[in-house]
Structure 1
Amino acid sequence: MARAAIAAPRLLRAAMLLLLLVAAGRRAAGAPVVNELRCHCLQTLQGIHLKNIQSVKVTPPGPHCGQTEVIATLKNGQEACLNPEAPMVKKIINKMLNKGSTN
């Protein structure tokens, strides 16, 4: 019986905290919205042939993910996660950056 009496105030406090967080979130107009708070790349490739790549997106570490992510969009529309530390991937990024700066 004593445990139930102790648990009820804790539950009430948790419910109140949740309501306050929801109310505060609704008032935060103009705050940036983050779609996902996790890494996109769970597995990475060591490299891929440059002729198969349409574009490359490099996402630095941040609140969504603690590691740099390199996502290549292939010419067939698929996306591939590349290991940013792999020598081949570093070459691909450099070639893509140089290709963009010459145009």
Structure 2
Amino acid sequence: MRFSAAAALLLLLASCLSPGHGILEAHYTNLKCRCPKMSLTFIHPNIIERIQVTPPGNGCPRTEVVVWTKAKKVLCVNPLARWLQKVLKFVQSKNVISTPSAPVSKRRTT
């Protein structure tokens, strides 16, 4: 009788450690990626309104570059495209990219 109770407990534990979660995680790694497809097509810098570069992480294993045009189109661009690298270098050299400053708390001295 003891053997069957131990075997049932072992079977219960084995079913809880099923590799099913790992399999699902491996197949659905792009659930949080914004860009299902990336384009290599050149976009002229004059029509670019905003560029967002998202590093890998939070469920998406790749770097993503999203470009908003002045015509309100949203395009995903391959981050390795030569023209994009040149545009990003130009924008960074002109200090056009600005990041909002963090809020500063003022300490009161009494």
TM > 0.5: yes
Q: How many residues align?
A: 73
2:95 to 94, 100, 103: 100
> d(CA) in 1 for partners of 2:97 and 2:54?
23
TM-score by length of 2: 0.54
Q: Who wins on radius of gyration, i.e. which is larger? A: 2
- Please list every run of 5 or more consecutive structure 1 residues that lacks an aligned counterpart in the other structure: 1-5, 15-36
4+ long deviations beyond 4 Å: none
Greater helix percent: which structure? 1
> Given the two structures, how large is their TM-score scaled by the length of structure 1?
0.58
Match of 1:44 in 2: 38
Secondary structure class of the residue paired with 2:65: strand
**Displacement, 1:100?**
2.7
Q: 1:102: how far off?
A: 9.1
Identity fraction in percent: 31
Match of 2:72 in 1: 77
Change (3 A) 1:95 1:63: same
CA RMSD of the aligned region, Å? Answer: 2.8
Listed as ranges, the gaps of 5+ residues in structure 2 are 1-7, 17-30, 99-110
Q: Higher relative CO (CA 8 A, sep ≥ 6), structure 1 or 2?
A: 1
CA contact (8 A) 1:56 1:96 kept: no
